[in-house]
Structure 1
Amino acid sequence: MCSAFRPSTVKEPDDLILELKPSHQSPNPTGTHCETWSVRFSPGGSYFAWSMGFGIVKILLWPVTSTDSGEDADSERTLHCKQAVWALAFGPCLSPRTDQNRHEPDLLLVIGLNNGLIQVWVVSSGKLLFTLSGHQALVRDLVFAPNGSLTLVSASRDKTLRIWDLAKKGVNPHVLRGPNYWVFKCSISPDSSMIASLCNFDSKLYLWSMRSYTFMRHITYDHERTMVSCDFSPDGALLAVASYKSSTGWWLDLWDPYTADLLSRVENCELCYNRSDSLPTYLSFSPVGLLLAFKDYRALQIWDVERDELVTETDHNRAGGLCCAFHPHGGVIATGCRNGEVKFWRVPHRVRSLRHLCRTALRFSVSTYQVEALPLPPKIQEFLTYRDVQKQKTLCCKKHHS
């Protein structure tokens, strides 16, 4: 049985907090473009990084206090990377459980470039620390392990994942091979035990062990689709995957990463399925609560998985959206656009239930198999393993909601 999301209660333009536009003159000789492919908040929430096109990355203090074009040495840094920027990541990255909003003087920003290099910059000084080489094609995604270490995972169009230890300069990375297509996206579980990755065109999700650096299993779809993005929930018990097929629309799937069981599937509006501007581009779980944001060319939408309702549907008829990132303390989400702009949106405050807090505390360190082995009533086991969520639902957009 399918259910429909309730209509959004957040209206434009009240939810738009801030909009930043790049000030570019013309493309440089390296052939870079103007798209904002990546936006990131630092783990402590005090910095924001923005790939503003043409090989330029801007680092701003958060909250942004001024939108003047002049650069303030105390509030922002401009990094000239000389290549198209595809991926950003701040590190070291601490779990929200251990991050105490401390000052971030030793924070690094790593940048994945079109030529396969990874630049490592010092945020406080805006200086290039060193460059990592090894990838044979552009670096599409970067993520630090959320355990406070300097372990970095990179995904590339050379069909590999590489695991780097930035604390050991000069040590060769672990190389994970297997896919026959470009590796498009990767995500690390909150306990730093597992990597999820996907390629655009092979209709599979790959799971890797962070402890042994080996392949674990595929999660394979039953029909061909284009894979877009993946992310673990804050407790690691859910793995969200966005995908689409141009002739039938898009899907947002929630998987159990331990058992490879499909827990829930969201399909797009039946009257919008053939619209090219409704294809998904990115998804991300909020570090706070159980909110899942998914971006397409048409809108930004945020789903409260715990309450099973759409709490935000905004950014309509704007420049095509490519990426999004939550602030680590909640309340704000940033979106990057095809024209190099970045926008900051207000995220509705949601009070987490005591039931969910208990589930999150347990699931952060206990696998599905361990939960199933506990002598608990079936309904409690279903709740702890997310087997009680709605199995299938259809998203009704504002335009076609009746």
Structure 2
Amino acid sequence: MCSSERSSGLQPSVVPGSDPSLILELKTRRPVSLEGRAGCETWSVDFSPDGAWFAWSMGHGMVWVVAWPLDSEESQDDGDDRADKSFSCGEPVWGLAFGPRPPKSPAASHNDTQKGNKKGNRLLLATGLENGVIKVWNVRTGNPLFDLHGHEGVVRDLVFPQNGKLTLVSSSRDRTLRIWDLNQKGSKVQVLSGHKDWISCCCISPDCSMIASVGRFDRMVCLWSLRSFTFIRNLTGVAHRTFYLLASCHFSPDGALLATAAFNGSSWWIDLWDPYTAEKLTTLVNYCEIYGQNQISAIQFSPDGLHLAIVTEERALRIWKVGQKGMVMQTKEDRGSNGLCCNFHPQGGVVATGTRDGHVRFWRVPRVVPSLCHLCRHALRHSVSTHQMEPLPIPRRILEYLTYRNVPERLQTPDDAAPEEEDYGDVAPSS
């Protein structure tokens, strides 16, 4: 854990947690005159793909990047390369993302070594600004590389694909998504239009075939092809109710599920969809029935796909099991500082949440040992779509499991939940 000696000047301070699940909190040291004023929000947080770095937008145009874990000996041994860094963007930062993913093949890693590149020299940080500009930084050196121009409104979300390519997807309040080729410093860009209002969130499927985006007020959950840059479908077009406001979306790690958080005028809903067939598989929870009308700010699947993190306006973090068990963890409410975003560590076990006051909290989240069934499903669904799965000559029960159709149509609260079906599959972690 990071020691309090690092909390000097503009660096974050570390507050040990009193809650069993709270690990620490990073707080910015602002002048009293700036506390609580507009512009200090943490709109976005992210871990690097290898989990070695953490970044958050601390407000007032500043982004802070720290080596993870905070007490890592490697960060001390590597000198300036692993030192904490601050990036001054000049405008409020609404979205940020690390990328690209490190090369998976030994050949790619060998090529980097032959060229004299240190581990992590390819690591970039993209920051989306309020004026529509995207700034791209070299994380190791802390230097700006280039700017991307084209958006005419706030750049709300940024995401890199998981295939290691220098491609960046951005969504904006100008109602468009843009796909940038960073090999050419953004001179080659694809523009996706179709939303009728602000785009509040976007995500890329793990197989890098689809982009999902949600419009804040246009009642649309759109799927786009990342291969042909064309519109595929609108998921809400087949829903049994009309959405009024859409807040967030996220693909499961195997790409077989898409979670969306939406408000229909009286209730918040979290739905799980099959992105290939546009079928709504289940409603995870009618949030207002249980917790009242607390706005959902962000949702994200855990790296193993077994849990879903939900951040709400009263700063509470709730972890739900994507099955019949329902909620497995809930933090204390704190209405004095609204929650805005969340992000899991790539190896799991920790989730970071950002708040309206510019702070970040790190929570210890449940660890489970996935069942063999779940691991097989995860590996298969990562490369096989629902349409390819359905014609296979396999027993119906196995097909339902592989396509997540064995999940009940509506998941209950923990108090009312039925016993978990054994074929869903996880076992408690060993001590």
Could you tell me the TM-score, scaled by structure 2's length?
0.82
Corresponding position of 1:193: 209
Post-superposition CA distance 1:275-331 (Å, at most 9, x none): 4xx210000111224211111013111112156432211142252100000000011
Alignment of 1:1-400 (within 5 A): 13-25=19-31, 33-65=39-71, 73=80, 74-93=82-101, 103-169=119-185, 171-220=187-236, 221=239, 222-245=241-264, 247-265=265-283, 266-270=285-289, 272-273=291-292, 275=293, 278-298=294-314, 299-306=316-323, 308-317=325-334, 319-395=337-413
Which amino acid letter does the alignment assign opposite residue 393 of structure 1? L
Length, aligned pairs only: 375
Instruction: Tell me if structure 1 keeps the 8 A contact 2:132–2:151.
Output: yes
Please give the root-mean-square deviation of Cα atoms over the aligned residues, in Å.
2.4
Which amino acid letter does the alignment assign opposite residue 48 of structure 1? F
Instruction: For 1:114 and 1:269, locate their aligned partners in 2 and report how far apart those are by CA, in whole Å.
Output: 31
Structure 2 vs 1, CA of residues 27 and 85 (structure 1 numbering), >3 Å: closer, same or farther?
A: farther
Instruction: For 1:224 and 1:334, locate their aligned partners in 2 and report how far apart those are by CA, in whole Å.
Output: 28
Structure 2 vs 1, CA of residues 227 and 48 (structure 1 numbering), >3 Å: closer, same or farther?
A: same
Q: Which has the higher contact order (CA 8 A, sep 6+)?
A: 1
Structure 2 vs 1, CA of residues 155 and 26 (structure 1 numbering), >3 Å: closer, same or farther?
A: farther
For structure 2, list consecutive stretches of 5 or more residues without a partner in the other structure.
1-16, 73-78, 110-117, 416-431
Moved more, 300-309 or 285-294: 300-309
Post-superposition CA distance 1:16-39 (Å, at most 9, x none): 1010101122789xx961100000
Structure 2 vs 1, CA of residues 377 and 96 (structure 1 numbering), >3 Å: closer, same or farther?
A: farther
Give, in angstroms, the shift of residue 203 of structure 1: 1.6
Instruction: Tell me if structure 2 keeps the 8 A contact 1:326–1:334.
Output: yes
Identify the structure with the greater helix proportion.
2
Instruction: Tell me if structure 1 keeps the 8 A contact 2:97–2:126.
Output: yes
Moved more, 88-97 or 296-305: 88-97
SS in 2 for 1:52: strand
Give, in angstroms, the shift of residue 61 of structure 1: 0.2
Which amino acid letter does the alignment assign opposite residue 201 of structure 2? K
Instruction: For 2:312 and 2:205, locate their aligned partners in 1 and report how far apart those are by CA, in whole Å.
Output: 24
Which amino acid letter does the alignment assign opposite residue 338 of structure 2? G
Structure 2 vs 1, CA of residues 63 and 116 (structure 1 numbering), >3 Å: closer, same or farther?
A: same
Which amino acid letter does the alignment assign opposite residue 254 of structure 2? D
Structure 2 vs 1, CA of residues 97 and 370 (structure 1 numbering), >3 Å: closer, same or farther?
A: farther
Instruction: For 1:26 and 1:57, locate their aligned partners in 2 and report how far apart those are by CA, in whole Å.
Output: 20
SS in 1 for 2:271: strand
Identity of aligned residues (%): 51
Give, in angstroms, the shift of residue 201 of structure 1: 1.0
For structure 1, list consecutive stretches of 5 or more residues without a partner in the other structure.
1-10, 67-71, 398-402
SS in 2 for 1:329: coil
Post-superposition CA distance 1:248-291 (Å, at most 9, x none): 22110000000000101021252543x4xx21000011122421
Instruction: For 2:120 and 2:319, locate their aligned partners in 1 and report how far apart those are by CA, in whole Å.
Output: 29
Which amino acid letter does the alignment assign opposite residue 316 of structure 1? E
Which amino acid letter does the alignment assign opposite residue 209 of structure 1? S
Instruction: For 1:307 and 1:191, locate their aligned partners in 2 and report how far apart those are by CA, in whole Å.
Output: 27
Give, in angstroms, the shift of residue 145 of structure 1: 0.9
Structure 2 vs 1, CA of residues 27 and 215 (structure 1 numbering), >3 Å: closer, same or farther?
A: farther
Could you tell me the TM-score, scaled by structure 1's length?
0.88
Structure 2 vs 1, CA of residues 396 and 279 (structure 1 numbering), >3 Å: closer, same or farther?
A: farther
Instruction: For 2:162 and 2:301, locate their aligned partners in 1 and report how far apart those are by CA, in whole Å.
Output: 14
Give, in angstroms, the shift of residue 349 of structure 1: 1.0
Instruction: Tell me if structure 1 keeps the 8 A contact 2:342–2:352.
Output: yes
Structure 2 vs 1, CA of residues 27 and 237 (structure 1 numbering), >3 Å: closer, same or farther?
A: farther
Post-superposition CA distance 1:353-378 (Å, at most 9, x none): 11100111110000001110100111
